[in-house]
Structure 1
Amino acid sequence: MITTINPADGTTLATYQAMTPAQIEQAVVQGSAAAAAWGRTPVENRLEALTRLAGHLRSESARLAALITAEMGKPIKEAEGEIEKSAVTAEYYAANGGAILADEEVPVDGVRAWVAYEPVGLVLAVMPWNFPAWQVFRFAVPTLAAGNGVLLKHSPNVTGFALELEKVFVEAGFGEHLVTTLVVDEPEVPATIEGLIADDRIAAVTLTGSNRAGAAVGAAAGRASKRSVLELGGSDAFVVLADADLEAAAAAAVRARFANSGQSCVCAKRFIVEAAVADEFIDRFVLGVKALAVGDPTDREVAVGPLARDDLRAVLQRQVDESVAAGAVLVAGGGNIDGPGYYFEPTVLTGTAPGMPAFDEETFGPLAAVAVAADVEEAITLANATQYGLGLSIWTGSPSRGVEVARQITSGAAFVNAVVASDPRLPFGGTKRSGYGRELAAVGIREFTNTRTYWVA
């Protein structure tokens, strides 16, 4: 049995019966057949379905957002934004998928040659709880546009929403079994996922989640010689140079760290500031953090809700305590908020450095680590002092200088004078221990296609 809990008050929401092995087998059989039929459907028909999906998401936004907030505690305005972003992504691929997937003629003397992007079949997706809709749609929309089917294993604490997702696709006019949600008992997940990856009816696998889970899925995909995309942890640097607009940078830093209550792989986590402006930046940043409204995520004025699970608070508390013991200075927050629900104070540590958990580890919650760099060269060194490489944000009065600095720091994306974000028009993914492969844009829709060469004499 799987039980979902409201993290705002700790009450039980619902209980679900896990699937039996026979039911999982049936889901694979039906999903494989549906994917094969969908792959034979003309591209224009597949893209029309995406337009219907966008409209359906908007018509159901209030209901779907409320379920996200209930199951994982996301502030309601952010939950609504997640649904809207998913609808925008469906519209992007409806408008552009045809051109991206079109055959590409290659000039070769005496023959006709071209490259085609053809569907691969049924794709397994292992998805996390922190963006219950967006994480799924940013993978599923281009994957379906390419002609594939989806077998979804979502996080257990958002099981209700995962089951709703399956209905959403059917209600939008996609075929039965084209998107199937698996409800798997937690102790059985590793063996079940490994078995599915090895199954010849599964063409590829994608995972967004922890490095431990990513290592297991990547290894299983390697043994099966199957394509995989991994979007894993992050410890993004937010670099503030001495010539930056500090008011804008500090305001952006608050948004960059505490969106989704800090529970995002692409949240800024390490704030690296040149010494010449460190005091002023820290003062502005801390004032902004202390002004954040914390509380009931259904309240539209609340900016920071609860963490999704109680065990996440314990991890965050350890990271704070061990960092302080190693020399970091606690200047805001620092612990649990008394009362029902899984709330943690928006927290800022200064004086952090490599060797401290708040700097070295991924911090998944409302905890910001500030480090001071003597100059630009040390800022670059500190930004690179991580095992992760997902996003990077640089703040400077000279955009060209920001790009020059960004080229010296390893990441999957670099934003200058802007907060790191995903956009359907641009590839999204990481380097180093943040994973490999890309979602979104042209490369995202082609990740799960067979790039096939044709040569006709």
Structure 2
Amino acid sequence: MSAVQDGLRRRRRRDRGLRQTRTRRRTVNEREKALLDEVDTRLFIGGEWVDSSSGKTFQVRDPATNEVVAHVADATEEDGIAALDAAVAVQDEWANTPPRVRSDILRRAFELVRERADDVALLMTIEMGKPLAEAKGEVTYGNEFNRWFSEEAVRIAGRYGSNPEGTGRIIVSQRPVGPSFFITPWNFPFAMATRKIAPALAAGCTVVIKPPQLTPLTTLFFAKLLVEAGLPKGVVNVVTSASSSRVSAPIIADPRLRKLSFTGSTEVGRKLIAQAAEGVLRVSMELGGNAPFVVFEDADLDKAVDGAMLAKFRNIGQACTAANRFIVHESVAEEFAQRITERVTKMKIGRGTEEGVEIGPLIDSDAVDKAVELVADATERGATVVAGGERLDGPGTFYQPTVVTGVQPGSAILREEIFGPVLAIATFATEDDAVRLANDTEYGLVSYVYTEDLQRGHRMIERLETGMMGLNAGVVSNAAAPFGGVKQSGVGREGGFEGIHEYLSTKYTFLPNA
């Protein structure tokens, strides 16, 4: 074969490869379009899909491209109250629905989500930006709440026994709290919806949910699957809005509402708690975090580095459970930083649907600005950027995965929730120093500790002021475990045996002896 023929053959092979690539991209785009077309972007009230009473919509954008992917109904105050009306109207009927029926509906929802897992994951990646592999992980995790609470629905129990005086019987029973209102965040669009909806339905409570403006599509799609699972009309209602306060305030002020659950910032949580106080509502608040990641001198650094990558860069660092402050013993800090930097510099950045991408876009330009400001403040105070540290040119809102060492006391990056792919390392000398640094925050959601000393691990369980802890583990969330924090990280628990009790009220009855 001549050189010319060989060159022509290589060109034909290259051109065929390019055509295949274009076809593959076109197929992905067609799949995305078909999926987006399947999502009903109207309000879901009383079992019906309806337009906003104002006729207005708001845009949802893909943060990786800044392209508009959907126009979603923008609910008014009247729409919010209509949703509550629908929930109130069927509350008694749903509360008296046999637990096995409620259980079976949740189980069917679990099966339907599992069948459509790839679609739910892709929808999240489109509207939120997380890598597709992580989105699939969220579907698996979030769907476990459907399965877990389908099992808990038939295990709601009370107690019966004699009083100490022997004059009668004590009967303790559990009843549904009543109509519940949920406000969910943009960073885990599926899991945050199921973590609230599933226990409420299991307990016999009806629901109004306001998904986030930035990522409402996943919740709307889940509502569709709940209908397919056989959920009666009015039991779950979805109101989307560009203004959370406009829709939320009248619902919270309505005396028929009995429960409020919110996941988001502590600042907003405080305001909602104040509003809820007027009606003495039951509240569950999963608020901000400032998680310490403590590495002792005896830690297995291989485990610690693997855990750090998960705890920091999962969901592009946009998680309330993300490790925020890496507090590393001075004897291993340099080696830890080197190993982390090697891993971070190899991370692939891009749109979450692209193969091998580990870092997608931040949710919006404000999030990028926040990362830039925190890193700049740290370096001005003496820290060193050893990897990343730059925003990337658009389209999309990307920021490089970043490692900052030598972070000094007083740096904003140690006080404020980063919510981005920035790993900040400070050092300590003694165990008491580590505890003091870890607890030096108004937040108390989760902590991570790496040590091979079992006794020290037990001391950390007792001494660290957080509602959750990962001991030699970089991920703690599980549907079977109680998720929640202390201090200004919130009140109440989601998941576990404890989760369903957030939606139950305890009633005591005394029955005297005949």
Structure 1 length normalisation: TM-score?
Answer: 0.96
Moved more, 385-394 or 15-24: 15-24
Shift of 1:11: 0.7
Instruction: Say which of 75, 96, 111 aligns to 2:152.
Output: 96
Q: Which residue of 2 aligns with 1:72?
A: 128
One-letter identity of the residue aligned with 1:332: A
Q: Which residue of 2 aligns with 1:443?
A: 498
Q: Is the 8 A contact 1:391 1:420 kept in 2?
A: no
Instruction: Say which of 46, 57, 82 aligns to 2:113.
Output: 57
Q: What secondary structure, in the 3-state scheme, does the structure 1 residue paired with 2:505 have?
A: strand
Q: Counterparts of 2:349 and 2:167 in 1: how far apart (Å)?
A: 69
Q: Is the 8 A contact 1:354 1:360 kept in 2?
A: no
Instruction: Say which of 229, 234, 245 aligns to 1:177.
Output: 234
Q: Is the 8 A contact 1:263 1:365 kept in 2?
A: yes
Q: Which residue of 2 aligns with 1:82?
A: 138
Shift of 1:222: 1.3
Question: Residues 384 and 28 (structure 1 numbering): CA distance in 2 closer, same or farther, change over 3 Å?
Answer: same
Alignment map for 1:183-194 (pairs within 5 Å): 183-186=240-243, 189-194=244-249
Q: Deviations over 1:215-238 (max 9, x none)?
A: 111111112211111111111011
Instruction: Say which of 189, 200, 208 aligns to 1:151.
Output: 208
Q: Deviations over 1:28-71 (max 9, x none)?
A: 11111123211110111111111111101111111111111000
Shift of 1:97: 3.4
Unaligned runs of 5+ in 2: 1-56
Q: Deviations over 1:82-136 (max 9, x none)?
A: 111222222222223322x112224423423222121021100010000000011
Q: Is the 8 A contact 1:403 1:416 kept in 2?
A: no
One-letter identity of the residue aligned with 2:292: A
2:273 equivalent to 1:218:
yes
One-letter identity of the residue aligned with 1:94: S
Q: Which residue of 2 aligns with 1:419?
A: 474
Instruction: Say which of 318, 326, 334 aligns to 1:271.
Output: 326
Q: Is the 8 A contact 1:392 1:420 kept in 2?
A: no
Moved more, 385-394 or 90-99: 90-99
Q: Which residue of 1 aligns with 2:489?
A: 434
> What is the CA RMSD across the aligned residues, in angstroms?
1.4
Q: Which residue of 1 aligns with 2:433?
A: 378
2:357 equivalent to 1:299:
no
Q: What secondary structure, in the 3-state scheme, does the structure 2 residue paired with 1:451 have?
A: strand
2:73 equivalent to 1:20:
no
Instruction: Say which of 181, 190, 194 aligns to 1:133.
Output: 190
Deviating above 6 A after TM superposition, structure 1's stretches of 4 or more consecutive aligned residues are: none
Question: Residues 111 and 76 (structure 1 numbering): CA distance in 2 closer, same or farther, change over 3 Å?
Answer: same
Shift of 1:372: 0.4
Unaligned runs of 5+ in 1: none
Q: Counterparts of 1:404 and 1:171 in 2: how far apart (Å)?
A: 49
Alignment map for 1:333-348 (pairs within 5 Å): 333-348=388-403
Q: Counterparts of 1:399 and 1:299 in 2: how far apart (Å)?
A: 42
> In terms of Rg, which structure is larger?
2
Q: Which residue of 1 aligns with 2:31?
A: none
Moved more, 48-57 or 101-110: 101-110
Moved more, 16-25 or 376-385: 16-25
Q: Which residue of 1 aligns with 2:13?
A: none
2:378 equivalent to 1:311:
no
2:199 equivalent to 1:142:
yes
Q: Counterparts of 1:448 and 1:309 in 2: how far apart (Å)?
A: 34
Q: Is the 8 A contact 1:267 1:420 kept in 2?
A: no
Question: Residues 132 and 347 (structure 1 numbering): CA distance in 2 closer, same or farther, change over 3 Å?
Answer: same
Q: Which residue of 2 aligns with 1:388?
A: 443
Percent of aligned pairs sharing the same letter = 34
**Count of aligned residue pairs for this structure pair:** 454
Structure 2 length normalisation: TM-score?
Answer: 0.86
Q: What secondary structure, in the 3-state scheme, does the structure 2 residue paired with 1:8 have?
A: coil
Instruction: Say which of 222, 225, 240 aligns to 1:168.
Output: 225
Q: Deviations over 1:410-439 (max 9, x none)?
A: 000122111242112211101112111111
Q: Which residue of 1 aligns with 2:34?
A: none
Q: Deviations over 1:174-196 (max 9, x none)?
A: 1122111112232xx22432221
One-letter identity of the residue aligned with 2:122: A
One-letter identity of the residue aligned with 1:216: K
2:170 equivalent to 1:113:
yes
Q: What secondary structure, in the 3-state scheme, does the structure 1 residue paired with 2:465 have?
A: coil
One-letter identity of the residue aligned with 1:284: R
Q: What secondary structure, in the 3-state scheme, does the structure 1 residue paired with 2:241 have?
A: coil
Q: Counterparts of 1:214 and 1:266 in 2: how far apart (Å)?
A: 17
Q: What secondary structure, in the 3-state scheme, does the structure 2 residue paired with 1:276 have?
A: coil
Moved more, 25-34 or 342-351: 25-34
Q: Is the 8 A contact 2:106 2:146 kept in 1?
A: yes
Q: Counterparts of 1:56 and 1:113 in 2: how far apart (Å)?
A: 42
Alignment map for 1:354-365 (pairs within 5 Å): 354-365=409-420
Q: Counterparts of 2:279 and 2:77 in 1: how far apart (Å)?
A: 21
One-letter identity of the residue aligned with 1:149: T
Q: Is the 8 A contact 1:237 1:393 kept in 2?
A: yes
Q: Counterparts of 2:169 and 2:133 in 1: how far apart (Å)?
A: 53
Q: Counterparts of 1:176 and 1:438 in 2: how far apart (Å)?
A: 28
Q: Is the 8 A contact 2:79 2:239 kept in 1?
A: no
Q: Which residue of 2 aligns with 1:262?
A: 317
Q: Counterparts of 1:129 and 1:83 in 2: how far apart (Å)?
A: 15
Q: Which residue of 1 aligns with 2:404?
A: 349
Q: Counterparts of 2:90 and 2:358 in 1: how far apart (Å)?
A: 41
Question: Residues 103 and 168 (structure 1 numbering): CA distance in 2 closer, same or farther, change over 3 Å?
Answer: same
Q: Which residue of 1 aligns with 2:30?
A: none
Question: Residues 382 and 353 (structure 1 numbering): CA distance in 2 closer, same or farther, change over 3 Å?
Answer: farther
Shift of 1:286: 1.4
Q: Is the 8 A contact 1:391 1:414 kept in 2?
A: yes
Q: Counterparts of 2:206 and 2:349 in 1: how far apart (Å)?
A: 40
Moved more, 310-319 or 158-167: 158-167
